[in-house]
Every structure is written in C-alpha cells, then in structure tokens.
Amino acid sequence: MEYTYIELDKTIQKEIKFKKDSKRLKEIISEVFEVDIMNTSRLAKVVDSRRVFLKILNELGYTLSAIGKEVNRDHSTMHFYKKNDHLFDYDANLRYKYIQCREAFLEGIEGSQKNQIEKLILDKYSIVKLQQKYKRLSKIIDLIDRVTYEGGEDLMEQRIGDMINKYYYGQTQE
C-alpha cells in the first residue's frame, strides 16, 4: 500500500501527538496514583492507574491497540479494562482520581480545544448511558425497525399503541 506525502505527514503528526499526550498523561497519573504506570504489578493501585490512562486517551479518540502498546499491554487487556468501565460509577476513589487526572491533563490544552474534548467526553458518556438504559429493549427496537417502512413510523406507533391498549385495557383507539 502506497501512501501519499500528505497521508504520511498526517500519520506522523498523529503519532507524535499521541506520544506527547501519553507521556504527559503518564506523568500526571504517576503523581496522582503515586505509582509507575509501566510497573508490571497487578496491584489494584497500578491496575487502576492503567484504567485511568486508557479511559482518558480513549476519550480523546486513541485506539485500544495504541494505548495498550504504550503501557506494554495488548489490546485485549485494554478491551477488558474498557469493558469494566462501570467501575468508575461504583468506586468513588477511582472516579475522583480519574477526574483529577483528566482535569490536570486538560489544563494545558487551549480553551477551544479543551471545550471540544469536554463536549466529546460528555457526548460519549451520554451515548453509553443511553445504550445501557435501552439495552433490554434493543431486540424490540430492532424488530420494529425491520418491519417499519420509511415514512410509516406514525402508523407503527398507532398500531403499537392499539396493541398495548388492547392488552392492558381491552380497548383500542378510535
């Protein structure tokens, strides 16, 4: 596969930016967690520091593979950390340290870029929450999507409403 000069230049710029961001974040995390993130230990403190590292860089759009390579882990380890992202909701200490690290990391970034990053993080968080909320209804939504032709949404809504009314109240809308 051949690259043009412009594509190669963009790839190199992205790689340089990633290295710069990851180095800076490693320093911040080392201060907050008081551990070396490159430590191979499986102590909770070290694992949590890697979770925060992954979460912040992934929110910035970096891939699990690139993040994993940066801490000498493969993408499957990073995928496991990401899969267990719910720990940030339940572990107040971990969440607090994540916020500390993220704030310190974003501190050195220009205002408009910082606002864009914050918006992306909030958007991603909202999407994940919606996915969790509607996970149990996904099969029903997929079924309705498959059988509803474009422009027929109002008719489908009416039919579903009639079906629910008939089921619960024994009556249909007129």
| Per-residue pLDDT in tens (0 to 9) along the chain, 174 residues | 565 666 667 778 888 888 888 899 999 999 999 999 898 888 999 999 999 999 999 888 888 888 989 898 888 888 888 888 888 888 888 888 998 898 888 886 666 566 666 777 777 777 777 777 778 788 888 888 888 888 888 999 999 888 888 888 876 555
Per-residue CA distances from 68 to 72, 108, 173 (Å)? 6, 24, 56
Residues in the chain, total: 174
For each of the domains in the chain, give its residue range(s) and CATH number, in order of start. 5-108 (1.10.1750.10), 138-169 (no CATH)
Query: Helical H runs in the chain?
Result: 5-33, 44-59, 64-70, 75-83, 87-90, 92-107, 111-134, 138-147, 153-169
Residue 31's pLDDT is: 92
Q: Tell me the whole-structure pTM to 2 decimals.
A: 0.61
